[in-house]
Structure 1
Amino acid sequence: MGRLTTHVLNTATGLPAVGMKLILRKGNEEGGYTMLSDTVTNHDGRVDAPLLEGDAFTSGVYELTFFVGDYFQTEDAFLDEVPIRFTVDDATRHYHVPLLVTPYSYTTYRGS
């Protein structure tokens, strides 16, 4: 069964990013995006359940937006919202989208 998960690490501290808001959207036929979920990371920097799984997880273009500025709440922070747009070709597989972040930089990759 396919699923979509995420994990956020604060690389400035080396700890999970607890309480970071994130929104998941999916590309639609009109060229825009439809919101699917609005959630917050838990004590482990993850969400409590997969963002999508089973029949709800379909092929297409998705956008996962992380509210980094709200999380760090520093006046000299460089980043605000970090949108990651990615394509799901095979919705029967596990797609994991981790975010490694500081107030000034981020990186992501397709995890497992």
Structure 2
Amino acid sequence: MTDTSGFLTTHVLDTARGVPAQGMHIVLYAIDGVTRTVVAAKHTNEDGRTDGPILPAEAFKPGVYELVFHAGDYLRETGQAGDPPLFLDEIPIRFGINDPGSHYHVPLLLSPFSYATYRGS
């Protein structure tokens, strides 16, 4: 039997320094109307990825989710923050999952003054 369970992964690349963003705190929320429920919280490893999916197959289901990347803490730790207030601090990315059998990958490309994301593979 083929496993058709999906899962969610993420990673963070520090585009200003040209390296993976190690040690960034990321929180995943499930969104239901105005209610936000923490599903997972992880830190990125030396490759800028979480150790394992942030939402593994056994917990993966359709719905609206939000990844919150704690970029400000990372930028301060790497000496890139500049004077307060930070231009980027917490970066929320809200997205929908509608195919429970797919791999969803939501990365963050980060610099002190910009970020980008996309649905990867």
Give the structure-1-normalised TM-score: 0.94
Identify the residue that residue 115 of structure 2 maps to in structure 1: 106
2:16/2:110 contact within 8 Å kept:
yes
C-alpha distance in structure 2 between counterparts of 1:9 and 1:32, whole Å: 30
C-alpha distance in structure 2 between counterparts of 1:81 and 1:12, whole Å: 18
| Structure 2 unaligned spans of 5+ | none
What is the identity, as a one-letter code, of the residue corresponding to 1:62? Y
User: Which structure shows the bigger proportion of residues in strand conformation?
Assistant: 1
1:47 aligned residue (47, 50, 59): 50
How many aligned positions are there? 111
1:16 aligned residue (15, 20, 34): 20
Percent identity between matched residues is 54
| Structure 1 unaligned spans of 5+ | none
Which of the two has higher C-alpha Rg?
A: 2
What SS does structure 1 have at the residue aligned with 2:52?
A: coil
C-alpha distance in structure 1 between counterparts of 2:94 and 2:70, whole Å: 15
C-alpha RMSD of matched pairs (Å): 1.1
Identify the residue that residue 83 of structure 1 maps to in structure 2: 92
2:40/2:55 contact within 8 Å kept:
no
What is the identity, as a one-letter code, of the residue corresponding to 1:26? A
User: How many Å apart are 1:55 and its aligned residue?
Assistant: 3.0
